[in-house]
Amino acid sequence: MNIIVTDRPEQAFKKAADIIACEIHHNPRPVLGLATGRTMESVYRLLVERYETAMLDFSTTTSFNLDEYVGLLPTDKNSYRHYMQKHLFAHVNMPVAQIHVPNGTATDLDAECAEYEANIQGAGGIGLQILGIGNTGHIGFNEPPSPFDSRTRVVHLDDITRRQNSGMFGNDPSRVPERALTMGVGTILEARKLVLVATGAGKASIVDAALNGPINENVSATAIRLHPDSTVILDDAAASIWKGNRRQGS
């Protein structure tokens, strides 16, 4: 695992954007796994800037988002499909037929999950998967405990996550959907490259658990340490506890 620590969050976002741009440049048919959340907003802004200055062409890129809330229409302003439209898809030339976000309003959610997995396989698998990390240690919405061989499925969101994500729901955690569809940890581990980005002091403790703690299914992000090509990009604040513990040799 490669760990990059930057002085400032902007440098961490730029590193992530550089890696994504490189993946797009160097593949005739890139397949990206995408995440949502506050961390990714800055990364997508940088990618849009590069598209606008003709440095990046998304026309051959296929994307698969990690997750979606159950019950929210793609047009709902709190859905992840809407988030992606607002922050990336509306501004770049990725053909709509190449965009995949789980459908949280499918009548048969299990069938939707199975089809999502099949579509990833059909695209040749994910080349580069971008990840954030939640306060429960989740990647995607793989709340504790999530088996490392789990696949795309319906999950119940942890109360900690519903609090974390309540900002978009009038700061009322009870308005955050109780369930979501998410790629599984096993699905994520099959991507050829993983890049996890975390910034800010609020992430320092869970980053330490992910990087220094025992590898186990109660902190899904520890799974990335099992991947042969994973990179973690942190700013100084998010790295602070991990660095301290590492110095003590624990």
Output the CA torsion sign for 232, 236, 241, 247: positive
Q: Which is nearer to ligand F6R, 57 or 74 (CB)?
A: 74
Closest distance to ligand F6R from the beta carbon of 5 (Å): 18
Backbone angles phi, psi at 162, to 5 degrees: -65, -35
Q: Which is nearer to ligand F6R, 60 or 135 (CB)?
A: 135
Output the CA torsion sign for 216, 146, 128, 244: negative
Q: Which is nearer to ligand F6R, 41 or 57 (CB)?
A: 41
Closest distance to ligand F6R from the beta carbon of 96 (Å): 19
Please state, as a whole number, how many other Cβ atoms lie within 10 Å of the Cβ of residue 36: 23
Residues forming contacts to ligand F6R in the complex (CB under 6 A) are: 35-39, 66-67, 80, 132-134, 138-140
Residue nearest to ligand F6R (CB): 132
Burial grade of 114 (CB within 10 A; 0-12, 13-18, 19 or more)? middle
Closest distance to ligand F6R from the beta carbon of 138 (Å): 5
What angle is formed at CA 93 by the lines to CA 91 and CA 191, rounded to 5 degrees? 100
Q: Which is nearer to ligand F6R, 25 or 175 (CB)?
A: 175
The answer to whether the CB of 24 falls within 8 A of the CB of 34 is no
What's the distance, CA 134 to chain centroid? 10
Closest distance to ligand F6R from the beta carbon of 249 (Å): 29
Q: Which is nearer to ligand F6R, 224 or 250 (CB)?
A: 224
Closest distance to ligand F6R from the beta carbon of 193 (Å): 17
